[in-house]
Amino acid sequence: MTKNWLIVLVVLFLGVQAHAQNTFSISGIVRDKKGNLPGAAIYLSGYKIATVADNGGKFIINNLRPGNYDLLVQMVGYLPFSKNVVISDKSVEVTLVLKENVVRLNEVVIRADPNRERYIRVFKAYFIGLTENAKDCKIMNPNILRVDFDRDSGILTVKTDDDFLVINNKALGYKIKYLIKLFQYNDITKVVYYEGYPYYEDMSGSDNQKRRWAAKRLKAFRGSPQHFYRSLFNNTSKEEGFIINKLILNQTIEDQIDSLADTNLGLLTSPKLIYPGAKKSNLLGNATPPNTIFKGSEGNGVLDLAEVLPDTLVHVYSNQAKKIDFTNILYIIYTKELESKQYKKMIVNPFLRPPSLRNVQISLLKMLVAPIYFYENGGIFNPRSSRHSGYWAWEKIADSLPLDYMP
């Protein structure tokens, strides 16, 4: 019996040691121009992971897998700070230098904008979303939003450079702190773009609330980009409900779409722009046609219904990362969940589809910077390497989950 227990203990120890060899840390010092700063809060953007600098300004975040991380630092009296850190095969040490948040009173000009509330309603619709979960989200400090509307260009710009926007998501049970670097809504083209750094905290609640949150989180995860990339990494995309086809747009349509979205910005989140002028679709051939032709006033687009197999799409980049590289646009069908009623009501001109795919969730993925690198947790190395449209663009912050979420 003693010998058997000894074998078990040795195996357990080796397992812990092997796990430790696959995880790393980010450590360092938080300081300003005068010296080290104790008490600063350090977050990992997109996660539920955080720590506090000790009395010497030092911090460490352990048990991190290789990947691309954004460190966020918050401290009273200082401007929020962010730093990108890439972990490949070893731990990383950094020095984070904060700048004082100096407000010059002679530069402060208070201008009452009678349209501010309307602009914030637009911001909420395109940033938090219009889904069922969005109804249970509340911005706790809207006063920090810096709002500007350029009437000539029709562009609404929102930023929170000096503080974190706090959002209570009572639908999923998260308190989200979001440092918005840039939000833009073009009222002419209806293109939406935003970038920034979110941090998630679990809200406290009763056991019944936690069970409801768990169910809603799982529903939000299913069919999401995070779910898609995790399934691609594990080679289980088809089993988990994803079918991948190719959408081939003629150059006229593609040029028109790209002219409305700066490829350096990243996410195009307006399904209205997918097929400019599209009016109807014609099915060619028999009951199971090889292609679907989308007719539009500016030209045609072809949906190739031949399935794109993950084995041909996904390639190993390293032990920790994989990549996809493709031409045209990926037409991603999620078969295990139907579109929401709100989506059908709110999207004025959704892209067209064969009748057999009438109610399933469909998203489009266009590569802007080749290739797209991704990790086991569903995170992307470069968020600006791709552009989402369709259902993925419909679900915004209200339906987002931290990267360390586990179903």
Alpha-carbon gap, residue 364 to 254, rounded angstroms: 13
Give the pLDDT of the chain (407 residues) as one tens digit per residue.
544 444 333 333 334 344 445 799 999 999 999 999 999 999 999 999 999 999 999 999 999 998 889 999 999 899 999 999 999 889 999 999 999 987 643 344 445 678 999 999 999 999 999 999 999 999 999 999 999 999 999 999 999 877 899 999 999 999 999 999 999 998 887 778 888 999 999 999 999 999 999 999 999 999 999 999 999 999 999 999 999 999 887 655 555 445 433 332 333 333 332 222 233 332 222 333 344 444 433 345 688 888 999 999 999 998 889 999 999 999 999 999 999 988 877 765 456 677 778 789 999 999 999 999 999 999 998 888 998 888 998 999 999 999 999 99
DSSP string, 364-401: EEEESSSSEEEETTS-BS-GGGEEEEEHHHHS-GGG--
Long-range contacts of 17-20 (CB under 8 A, 24+ apart): none
Which phi and psi (to 5°) does residue 353 adopt?
A: -160, 160
CB atoms within 10 A of CB 341: 9
Apex 131 CA angle, 130 and 137, nearest 5: 80
Which pTM value belongs to this model? 0.80
For the 18-97 domain, the top CATH level (class) is mainly beta
Spell out the domain ranges in the chain: 18-97, 106-202, 209-399
